[in-house]
Amino acid sequence: MVTLAKEDYLDMFLKMQRIRDIDMKLNKLVRRGFVQGMTHFSVGEEAASVGAIAGLTDQDIIFSNHRGHGQTVAKGINIPAMFAELAGKATGSSKGRGGSMHLANLEKGNYGTNGIVGGGYALAVGAALTQQYHNTGNIVVAFSGDSATNEGSFHESVNLAAVWNLPVIFFIINNRYGISTDISYSTKIPHLYTRSDAYGIPGYYVEDGNDVIAVYDKMQEVIDHVRSGNGPALIEVESYRWFGHSTADAGVYRSKEEVDSWKAKDPLKKYRTYLTENNLASNEELDAIEKEVAEEIEDAVKFAQDSPDPDLSVAFEDVWVD
Ligand SMILES: Cc1ncc(C[n+]2csc(CCOP(=O)(O)OP(=O)(O)O)c2C)c(N)n1
Ligand SMILES: [Mg+2]
């Protein structure tokens, strides 16, 4: 049973609203050339990201993938710096060199999103080895989609993490698609969390990954297990992306009925109902947060638009660490 301070409940709502509004805004801005290259939206998957990250500390580390806006926001990136990064500006969180698929925020433990499917797993295992070696007590979470678990890197990484007893959580957001491929074409087993059996680690499952409290609650168990030195764990949560795979995808392989059925399970509406019905927040308070987020995003877009392009010379900065 989850019991949090009111400010923590509201912070989760704020972060979910930010993820929603940032991607809704970007969906308009990409058409006007605001973002260089492709971008992948997290709309519909807000509860999975926020529920997963709300129980981590700033020192805990995450790695994410091409669909990493949600985790990046949940891990507390500065919003104007994120917009500037998406626009490739000098004031961006990675000085404009990363963009949508390479968002990072080292101070808050976001070691980077990653355009290579399955590319984050081994990096997360390496970071977890560092935590174990230096006995920091921090843990690492590797976010991925469902399809990525069919990459060889997944199996090698989970196996190595298991035999070395590393403090890493493999967090899978199962949205049932890898681009246009329905999961039934790519994966024989009905539940991805059972893959943990092959490596001798525990597997956890949240059927309603649109319920932020359910995700948070289950993650508390997973975090306790991993932080206590019991080695890695794997968790699968079910959710759905409302938009196409990326801005280059019209989504013709999914029926309107299917998409609508998931929109009816809107994570933000679900959480608003939970908060108001349990007297944890009023509709007025939540409306005020919505307004605050809308203004914050307008300001962030303006900040990005008014920012200068990076100088070419920065391309070779921060490549090596002594
Ligand atoms: C190694 C590699 N193979 C293929 C691609 C192209 N690609 C980008 S996203 C994607 C599907 C990923 O699906 P999933 O892991 O389920 O994540 P989702 O997009 O559903 O969030 C593919 C095949 C890639 N970027 N990297
Ligand atoms: Mg997927």
**Which residues are close to ligand 2, an ion, with C-beta < 5 A?**
145-146, 175, 177
Nearest atom, ligand 1, residue 144 CA: 15
- Ligand at minimal distance from the CA of 246 is 1
| CA 268 from centre of chain | 16
- Ligand at minimal distance from the CA of 149 is 1
- How confident is the model at residue 248, as a pLDDT? 83
Q: Which of 266, 258, 243, 259 is nearest to 40 (CA)?
A: 243
- How confident is the model at residue 1, as a pLDDT? 74
User: What's the rounded Cα separation, in Å, for the pair 28 and 23?
Assistant: 9
Which is it for the CA torsion 153, 191, 140, 130, positive or negative? negative
Ligand 1 centroid to residue 236 C-alpha, Å: 17
Nearest CA to ligand 1 atom 11: 178
Residues with CB under 6 A from ligand 1: 66-67, 115-118, 144-148, 175, 177-179, 245
Q: Per-residue DSSP letters for 166-226?
A: --EEEEEEE-SEETTEEHHHH--SS-GGGGGGGGT--EEEES-TT-HHHHHHHHHHHHHHH
Ligand 1 centroid to residue 171 C-alpha, Å: 15
Q: Where do the domains of the chain lie, and which CATH numbers do they carry?
A: 6-307 (3.40.50.970)
Q: Which of 181, 206, 180, 179 is nearest to 192 (CA)?
A: 206
Pocket probe for ligand 1: among 66, 100, 237, 240, the residue whose CB has the most ligand atoms within 8 Å is 66
Nearest atom, ligand 1, residue 66 CA: 9
User: What's the rounded Cα separation, in Å, for the pair 153 and 63?
Assistant: 14
Nearest atom, ligand 1, residue 117 CA: 26
**Positions of the chain with pLDDT under 50:** none
Contact 155, 121 (CB under 8 A): no
Name the strand (E) or helix (H) holding 257. helix 256-263
Q: Which of 77, 12, 36, 7 is nearest to 300 (CA)?
A: 77
Contact 202, 196 (CB under 8 A): yes
From residue 121, how far is each of 118, 124, 129, 144, 146 by CA, in Å?
Answer: 6, 5, 12, 8, 13
Nearest atom, ligand 1, residue 146 CA: 16
- How confident is the model at residue 293, as a pLDDT? 98
- Ligand at minimal distance from the CA of 120 is 1
Structure tokens at 95: 């000085």
